[in-house]
């Protein structure tokens, strides 16, 4: 059976704990590989490799670091298809979606290619008599990333792309459910360094595992900053524990994104947007849109009718089926979790308009498939509304007024993303200004910002003060040093000025 190991110091690194996990093929339900789980000693070995590599990597000037990122981008693009196929074989999303996973990660790598510009500091000439003030951004040292199963290419690149470009070295702990692509990315980064003529061994390291590896990262004294994406409870734990150990932490949590549909919306486009956002990647996206809020009974009735008709056209298939809109969920346990939430919704009194629980794909009966489900009559007090289902389930929550619709995402425990569908520019502008959510889409169902902006939610969707990628990412992975310099005039005699006992001012 195929064995997946870590990647430390530029080479494969076998875990020494003796513990392992199974990696399934979600299309068939069969075990296709095993992954070795790192011990605390294995994590330390990866961190020490990063510590050794960091001074030399930071000393490489930004232009040459950018050349490594350019070459890494080229290599990932050249390997796009095999990476996407490998990703789909472990995650279950269709190959086209996996290509998008890789591509969205590459967009942050493209941003990181411009790091010489992003690292420029500020300069003030003549802040005082003979005094200049300037600032510089310097790397923190060793950073770490802990990433989820749903985007095994994109989210690691979101983290290590910027962290490495600014001069840090990195230890990545990806999900043990689909661990192969992160290792392959580390191998390609080594190739990129060789092509650029720079030794990058130890710059990007990968360890696998569970809570043992996570806690070893959180407690390690040589790790200066941690980025995390996952569920909110674990995000809070990561943030609290990392901060207690003196680390800078950004921890992105769960989501329950809403789509508000006003009566004047382009209903044809809105329905297609909702279907893609709710059911794409089997709903396993933190920026999926699992709640739709139509305003007014007429809007709600028409939307429901159209959604049912569109759901009937959806094709669920294996990851390699080019005609399939989405594939299986990641594990049998996750499929059961989604089914349990559907039953909970029924028990709470919501109307199950479309029930996807009994879906089975002929010839792949062992796969982790679940059909699309649609609820109507969902109320804010229901647990299924309050919590993140993370599956192909769309809930209709009806609102009588725009004010009621805006209040729903604003008061929800999660504040990751929200969308409004309307032709009314003033209503959209007002909505974007007032809604209590971190990322807003206007006729855009999945409002993930482009790489040179920044990604991050509010409330229980994010812990920490700095978002991912863009200039916020540069700020997170660097520290600012400010220099105040005086070059006094002198007659060359070397005489000293009188001592001053007050704080200097810039008058």
Contact yes or no for 355/375 (Cβ under 8 A): no
* List of residues 6+ apart from 124 with CB closer than 8 A: 132, 133, 134
In a shared domain, residues 212 and 333: no
CATH of the domain at 429: 3.40.309.10
Share of the chain above pLDDT 90, in %: 95
DSSP codes joined into one string, 9-73: TTEEE---SS-EEEEEETTTTEEEEEEEPPPHHHHHHHHHHHHHHHHHHHHS-HHHHHHHHHHHH
CATH of the domain at 234: 3.40.605.10
3-state secondary structure of 135: strand
In a shared domain, residues 10 and 66: yes
pLDDT score for 494: 56
In a shared domain, residues 265 and 315: yes
pLDDT score for 499: 74
Measure the CA–CA gap between 141 and 222, rounded to whole angstroms: 8
If residue 434 lies in a helix (H) or strand (E), which one and from where to where?
Answer: helix 425-434
Among 272, 252, 303, 290, which residue's Cα sits nearest to residue 384? Answer: 290
Residue 313 lies in a domain: yes
HEC string for 6-17: EEECCEEECCCC
pLDDT score for 488: 77
| Residues recognised as catalytic | 286
pLDDT score for 503: 76
In a shared domain, residues 349 and 402: yes
Range of the domain at 122: 2-253+461-483
In a shared domain, residues 127 and 9: yes
Q: How many CB atoms lie within 10 A of CB 449?
A: 15
* Confidence grade of residue 497 (pLDDT, cut at 50, 70, 90): low
In a shared domain, residues 195 and 86: yes
* Confidence grade of residue 83 (pLDDT, cut at 50, 70, 90): very high
In a shared domain, residues 52 and 96: yes
Kindly tell me if the per-residue pLDDT of 406 is higher than 60. yes
In a shared domain, residues 234 and 342: no
Measure the CA–CA gap between 352 and 377, rounded to whole angstroms: 9
pLDDT score for 287: 94
Among 245, 201, 155, which residue's Cα sits nearest to residue 50? Answer: 201
pLDDT score for 138: 97
**Structural domains counted in the chain:** 2
In a shared domain, residues 374 and 360: yes
Model pLDDT for residues 148-179, shown as the tens digit of each residue = 999 999 999 999 999 999 999 999 999 999 99
Residue 498 lies in a domain: no
Kindly tell me if the per-residue pLDDT of 384 is higher than 80. yes
């Amino acid at each position: 059976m195929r064995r997946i190991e870590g990647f430390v110091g530029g080479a494969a690194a076998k875990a020494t704990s003796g513990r392992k996990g199974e990696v399934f093929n979600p299309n068939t339900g069969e075990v296709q590989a095993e992954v070795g789980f790192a011990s605390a000693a294995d994590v330390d070995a990866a961190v020490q490799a990063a510590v050794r590599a960091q001074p030399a990597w930071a000393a490489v000037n930004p232009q040459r670091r950018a050349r490594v990122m350019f070459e890494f981008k080229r290599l990932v693009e050249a390997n796009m298809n095999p990476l996407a196929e490998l990703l789909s074989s472990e995650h279950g999303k269709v190959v086209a979606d996996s290509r998008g996973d890789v591509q969205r990660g590459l967009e942050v790598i493209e941003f990181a290619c411009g790091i010489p510009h992003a690292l420029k500091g500020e300069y003030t000439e003549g802040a005082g008599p003979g005094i200049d003030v300037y600032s510089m951004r310097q790397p923190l040292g060793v950073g770490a990333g802990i990433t989820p199963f749903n985007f095994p290419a994109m989210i690691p690149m979101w983290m290590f792309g910027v962290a490495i470009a600014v001069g840090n070295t990195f230890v990545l702990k990806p999900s043990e459910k689909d661990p192969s692509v992160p290792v392959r990315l580390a191998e390609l980064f080594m190739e990129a360094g060789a092509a650029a003529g720079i030794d990058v061994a130890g710059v990007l390291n990968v360890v696998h595992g569970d809570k043992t590896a996570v806690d070893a990262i959180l407690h390690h004294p040589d790790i200066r900053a941690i980025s995390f994406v996952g569920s909110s409870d674990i995000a809070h734990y990561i943030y609290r524990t990392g901060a207690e150990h003196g680390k800078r932490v950004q921890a992105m949590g769960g989501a329950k994104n809403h789509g508000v549909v006003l009566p004047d919306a382009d209903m044809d486009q809105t329905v297609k947007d909702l279907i893609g956002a709710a059911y794409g990647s089997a709903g396993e996206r933190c920026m999926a849109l699992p709640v739709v809020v139509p305003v007014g009974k007429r809007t709600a009735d028409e939307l429901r009718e159209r959604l049912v008709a569109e759901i009937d056209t959806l094709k669920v298939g294996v990851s390699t089926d080019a005609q399939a809109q989405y594939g299986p969920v990641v594990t049998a346990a996750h499929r059961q979790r989604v089914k349990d939430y559907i039953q909970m919704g029924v028990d709470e009194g919501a109307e199950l308009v479309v029930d996807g629980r009994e879906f089975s794909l002929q010839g792949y009966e062992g796969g982790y498939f679940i059909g699309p489900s649609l609820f109507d009559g969902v109320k804010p007090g229901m647990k299924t509304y309050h919590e993140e289902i993370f599956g192909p389930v769309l809930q209709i929550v009806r609102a009588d007024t725009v004010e009621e619709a805006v209040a729903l995402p604003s008061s929800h425990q999660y504040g990751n993303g929200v969308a409004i569908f309307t032709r009314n520019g003033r209503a959209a502008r007002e909505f974007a200004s007032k809604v209590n959510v971190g990322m807003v889409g206007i006729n855009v169902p999945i409002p993930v910002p482009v790489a040179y902006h920044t990604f991050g939610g509010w409330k229980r969707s994010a812990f920490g003060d700095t978002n991912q990628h863009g200039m916020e990412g540069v700020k997170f992975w660097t520290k600012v040093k400010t220099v105040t310099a005086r070059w006094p005039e002198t007659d060359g005699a070397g005489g000293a000025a009188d001592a001053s006992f007050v704080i200097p001012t810039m008058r």
